[in-house]
């Protein structure tokens, strides 16, 4: 047992990473470690990395330096996607002691014999073809909501993406285990569960170690809707070709699943969608948005979009901009294309200059602000339910309605992790919605 030893964690990237960090943290606690915040002095610092963008790679060095400022003798461990893709590069960062790949990260405590710093970073990273088994995860205790991992890996071959190289083939948790984890989460008093994975619409593939689908994503949604004690279920990012009408209609009639979808688009140009090797064209995306708004007029719809992909001319960018401007969506997550090694796109011609990428990114981020404002304005006067967060931010407590409207009110600790019925009244100067409590 590691009595009196402290461990801290830093997570880069997606909700899936947060769920896995929480699971790794529980393993440390079970081994006798005390978990502390990352800005505290610890004996071990674990950094869960991301490699979706070039910026996430660069942040790793900064985070390592931050940990060493707290304790220059701390044992530094790197795990996650960047650790799988470039383990030697990560191990070469000054102060890093151990790097674990896609499968090894879940057994991190077994790789620690003692906490003496290594002269050179030690690497344990499998070939990605060996990442063919599933490890369930969920986050708990970190936030008001829990991230429940239901799927991992991806069989898609998008030309810009390194995720299949970092996480392996598509594989799923068993339906029985997902339901067990959801029940465990609800029993701990957490009010909201967010379903997460790399490609959650592909749920059911590899559920029992084979490539066929034992269950569908729709069957998962139906089963989770029956779990007692869950107040809210939220679907995270789901591919438009895998979001079926039956799922949309089910969510519309569910008392637990909330009217909020995040659907990657990446480009509003069919030419670029084909070049990206996405598995849909713009028409399918339009149909998904139309269906959601038909059965859930107040639904929130978020969109992922990439700017500056090779071959994106001014005309094709404006096609994307105008398409999104006219589409009934609520906000954008804008990603500036960055070249990733070992992808098809890195060798493509018609490279967009970085200053042009930056300009286009700024334009779409501006459009996102307008879209979010318009969506918030459309919700004024509506009576909704807010789940309050657990942080005091400069005298205010924040929360989100079921359809993802962000609200705030003066700090009151009694509101933490509670569901309150409210009527939205006005939008603050900082773009957050104010409200009145319902009597």
Q: What is the model's pLDDT at position 56?
A: 61
Integer CA distances (angstroms), 189 to 21, 152, 193, 243, in order: 20, 26, 11, 30
Q: What is the model's pLDDT at position 426?
A: 95
What does residue 386 show for φ and ψ, rounded to 5 degrees?
Answer: -110, 140
Mean pLDDT score, 88-114: 89
What percentage of the chain reaches a pLDDT higher than 70? Answer: 95
Q: Where in 26-74 does DSSP place strands (E)? A: 34-36, 44-49
Judge contact between 153 and 130, C-beta under 8 A.
Answer: no
Judge contact between 346 and 375, C-beta under 8 A.
Answer: no
CA distance 342 to 215: 32
Most confident residue range from 31-40, 141-150, 294-303:
294-303
125 pLDDT exceeds 90?
Answer: no
107 pLDDT exceeds 70?
Answer: yes
Which pLDDT tens digit goes with each residue over 215-272? 999 999 999 999 999 999 999 899 999 999 999 999 999 999 999 999 999 999 999 9
Listing DSSP states for 401-434 in one string gives ETT--EEEEE--GGGTT-EEEEEEEEE-TTSPEE
Q: Which of 36-40, 82-86, 194-198 has the lowest mean pLDDT?
A: 82-86
Listing DSSP states for 339-367 in one string gives --TTSGGGG-SSPPPHHHHHHHHHHHHHH
Which pLDDT tens digit goes with each residue over 29-83? 999 999 999 999 999 999 999 876 666 667 888 999 999 999 999 999 999 888 8
Local confidence band at 214 (pLDDT 50, 70, 90 cut-offs): confident
Which pLDDT tens digit goes with each residue over 283-298? 999 999 999 999 999 9
Judge contact between 35 and 8, C-beta under 8 A.
Answer: yes
Q: What is the model's pLDDT at position 15?
A: 82
Q: What is the model's pLDDT at position 137?
A: 87
Q: What is the model's pLDDT at position 350?
A: 96
Which pLDDT tens digit goes with each residue over 316-367? 999 999 999 999 999 999 999 999 989 999 999 999 999 999 999 999 999 9
Average pLDDT taken over every residue of the chain = 92
Residue of higher predicted confidence among 126 and 383: 383
The burial class, CB within 10 Å (0-12 / 13-18 / 19+), for 413 is exposed
201 pLDDT exceeds 70?
Answer: yes
Residue of higher predicted confidence among 115 and 204: 204
Judge contact between 91 and 119, C-beta under 8 A.
Answer: no
Q: Which of 87-101, 198-212, 423-437 has the lowest mean pLDDT?
A: 198-212
Q: What global pTM score does this model have? A: 0.92
CA distance 87 to 379: 47
């Amino acid at each position: 047992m590691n009595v009196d030893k402290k461990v801290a964690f830093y997570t880069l990237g997606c909700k899936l990473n947060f769920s896995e960090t929480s699971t790794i943290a529980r393993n440390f606690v079970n081994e006798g470690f005390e978990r502390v915040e990352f800005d505290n002095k610890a004996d071990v610092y674990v950094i869960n990395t991301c490699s979706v963008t070039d910026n996430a790679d660069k942040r790793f060095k900064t985070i390592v330096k931050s940990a060493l400022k707290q304790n220059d003798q701390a044992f530094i461990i790197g795990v996650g996607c960047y650790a799988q893709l470039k383990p030697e590069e990560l191990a070469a960062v000054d102060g890093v002691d151990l790097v674990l790949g896609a499968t090894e990260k879940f057994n991190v405590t077994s790789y620690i014999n003692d906490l003496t710093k290594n002269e050179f970073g030690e690497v344990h990273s499998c070939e990605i073809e060996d990442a063919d088994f599933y490890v369930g995860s969920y986050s708990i205790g970190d936030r008001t909501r829990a991230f429940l991992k239901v799927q991992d890996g991806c069989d898609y071959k998008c030309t810009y993406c390194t995720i299949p190289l970092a996480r392996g083939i598509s594989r799923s948790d068993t339906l029985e285990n997902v339901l067990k984890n959801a029940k465990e989460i609800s029993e701990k008093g957490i009010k909201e569960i967010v379903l997460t994975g790399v490609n959650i619409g592909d749920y059911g593939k590899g559920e029992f170690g084979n490539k066929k689908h034992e269950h569908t994503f729709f069957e998962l949604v139906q089963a989770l809707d029956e779990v007692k004690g869950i107040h809210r279920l939220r679907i995270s990012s789901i591919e438009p070709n895998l979001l079926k009408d039956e799922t949309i209609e089910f969510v519309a009639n569910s008392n637990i699943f909330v009217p909020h979808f995040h659907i990657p688009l990446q480009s509003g140009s069919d030419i670029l969608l084909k070049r990206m090797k996405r598995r849909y064209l713009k028409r399918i995306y339009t149909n998904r948005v139309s269906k959601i708004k038909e059965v859930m007029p107040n639904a929130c719809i978020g969109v992922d979009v990439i700017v500056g992909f090779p071959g994106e001319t001014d005309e094709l960018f404006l096609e994307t901009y105008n398409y999104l401007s006219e589409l009934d969506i609520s906000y954008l997550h804008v990603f500036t294309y960055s070249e990733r090694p070992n992808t098809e796109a890195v060798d493509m011609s018609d490279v967009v200059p970085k200053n042009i990428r930056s300009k286009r990114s700024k334009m779409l981020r501006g459009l996102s602000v307008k879209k979010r404002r318009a969506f918030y304005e459309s919700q004024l006067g509506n009576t909704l339910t807010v789940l309050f967060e657990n942080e005091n931010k400069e005298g205010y407590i924040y929360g989100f309605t079921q359809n993802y409207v962000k609200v705030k009110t003066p700090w009151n600790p009694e509101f933490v992790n509670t569901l309150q019925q409210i009527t939205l009244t006005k939008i603050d100067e900082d773009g957050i919605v104010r409200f009145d409590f319902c009597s």
